[in-house]
Amino acid sequence: MSTAALPADALSGHRITSVDSAPLRSRYPRTIGRNARLGAHGDGPEALAITVRTDTGVSGWGIYEGPEPDLGACIGLPLEEIFDPAVGVIAPRALPLDIALHDLAATILGIPVHRMLGGHGALAVDCYSGAIYFDDLDPEQDPRGTAGVLASCAADWEAGYRAFKLKIGRGNRWMPVVAGFDRDLEVLQAVRTAYPGARLMVDMNDGYSPEQTVRFLDTAQEWDLFWIEEPFAEHRSGLALVREHLTRNGSEVLVADGEFEPDVGLVLDLAREGLLDVLLMDVLSFGFTAWRRLMPTVHEIGAVASPHAWGHPLKTLYAAQLAAGLGNIDVVESVPGTTDGVDASAYRLQDGRITLPATPGFALELSG
């Protein structure tokens, strides 16, 4: 079923009666360390769960990250005035409810969110562990070296992951430039040796220069990387240097960017010019409605998407719903972990894929 098959008045007869928020705590399976730009990432973040209820006794919920929302802004409004199943949120004041309204509308329609989005992708979504940070540098008093990174890979492999994204760029803040660059290579070599068949990508978090990126790609050629992510803050001349290098070497490594404070117009232009292959705008801060609007353009340009999902583990499941719904997302970023008070057991991670439930809405149960 595509959304075009839904009657125009599919959501009529429901009025918003309450919008509540509650803090939500997630837990990573281990403390997550540093990357090129930031210090330790802790053992699990907090976010806000927003629940919307209607006068017909239906509810939907989703997490929200952003400035303090005005929870009263939509109370009393008919649902069809703020949400269209074919588009998403249609009233700016309802944007903090983006995820919650997708859940609510799909629940009312009796279909999973991915079906409401069009069902253009597979129901088993490839994912990678996004949790491989600078574990060689910790603990600070007795750093574990490469074995620390391999231990994280082993834990995530055991949990069902078959692809890893390695943070690199140690020379940006945490090590001398040359030693940090060498360690990046050493770690990558170790992981590739231990997991010869795994899909691997690297994320510099803007910690390399264009020249370092080219030198890195030279060495990394033998390791069959799937993509490099945020090598440096997006700029045309640097990305052109990288592209020339990749083309000259016949390399198929993709270039991914658009995660950190993206100028979406620029990111699209760079993709149009063939300088970016994978667009990373965040699943929450950019949002479902914005991705639904943008994806046809991304597809037309010949680029793909992989909405940034790091932070809350639930963001991975939302990204997987976008992948199954909109298509044009080959792989999603996965955040290992659990969320207190949320039953996410309808989703399964197996052999590197997240299988999505056929249950209406997001199929995530929030208790309490």
CB of 40 to Mg ion, least distance (A): 16
Residue 203 Cβ vs Mg ion, minimum distance, rounded to whole Å: 4
Nearest to Mg ion by Cβ — which residue? Answer: 203
Give the whole-angstrom CA distance, residue 90 versus residue 152.
Answer: 42
Adjacent-strand bridge partners of 339? 26
Alpha carbons 172 and 356: distance in angstroms, whole number: 38
Closer to Mg ion by Cβ: residue 229 or 277: 229
In the complex with Mg ion, the residue whose CB is nearer, 80 or 203, is 203
Positive or negative, the CA dihedral 9, 11, 14, 19 is negative
| DSSP code for 356 | P
CB of 354 to Mg ion, least distance (A): 19
Q: Which is nearer to Mg ion, 19 or 149 (CB)?
A: 149
Judged by beta carbon, residue 288 or residue 310, the one nearer Mg ion is: 310
Task: Using DSSP bridges, classify how beta strands 353-355 and 124-132 pair: parallel, antiparallel or unpaired.
Answer: antiparallel
Distance in Å, CB of 286 to Mg ion, minimum: 14
| Burial of 76: CB neighbours in 10 Å, binned 0-12, 13-18, 19+ | exposed
- Contact code string over 207-246 relative to Mg ion, x by CB under 5 A: ----------------------x-----------------
| Amino acid (one-letter) located at 255 | V
Interacting residues with Mg ion between 240 and 299 (CB under 5 A): 259
Q: Which residues contact 181 (CB under 8 A, 6 or more apart)?
A: 170, 171, 212, 215, 216
Site for Mg ion in 184-203 (CB under 5 A): 203
What gap in Å lies between CA 306 and CA 80, rounded to an integer?
Answer: 29
Instruction: Rank residues 311 and 361 by Cβ distance to Mg ion and give the closer one.
Output: 311
If one asks whether residue 333 binds Mg ion (CB under 5 A), the answer comes out as: no
Q: C-beta of 229: minimal distance to Mg ion in Å?
A: 5
86, amino acid identity: A
What residue has token string 């859940």?
103
Count of residues that bind Mg ion according to CB under 5 A: 3
Q: Which two tokens stand for residue 303?
A: 């680029």
In the bound state with Mg ion, the residue whose beta carbon lies nearer, of 97 and 331, is 331
Shortest distance in whole angstroms from residue 337 CB to Mg ion: 17
Whole-angstrom Cα distance, residue 56 to residue 17?
A: 9
The site for Mg ion (CB under 5 A) is made up of 203, 229, 259
